[in-house]
Amino acid sequence: MKILIKRSIMLDGHKTSVSLEDAFWTEFKQIAHFQHVTVSSLVEVIAAGREQSNLSSAIRVFVLEHFQNKHKPANPPHFNGAPVNSDEGQSTQAWRGLEKRG
């Protein structure tokens, strides 16, 4: 049985928590690391563009879409001058949000 673990994160300068399985949290951190962004900044962008009312669900969808679209060719956007691999849907919206902040 998979256990949900509450994790504290910063969102718009305030502490909040998300409940995610270890597998999703591990992959989410790796995506942020690979893209050279902080977990908090990626969470903020996902939160701003989410279609789900639940932030934990929005993060799961982001991770899922990242892997579903991993092998699709794309013209990657840039974040702080570093190329990033973009995915369709919510993950693309997240990267666009990060670009605007940069």
The full set of domains in the chain, from first to last, is: 5-101 (1.10.3990.20)
The Cα 102–Cα 99 span in angstroms is 5
Residue pair 77/96 in contact by the 8 Å Cβ criterion: yes
pLDDT per residue as tens, the chain (102 positions): 578 899 998 888 889 999 999 999 999 999 999 999 999 999 999 999 888 789 999 999 999 999 998 766 554 444 444 444 444 454 555 655 565 555
In whole angstroms, what is the distance from residue 8 CA to residue 1 CA? 22
For residue 80, which of 59, 56, 99, 57 has the smallest C-alpha distance? 99
* Model pTM score: 0.68
Which residues make Cβ contacts (< 8 Å) with residue 25, sequence separation at least 6? 5, 7
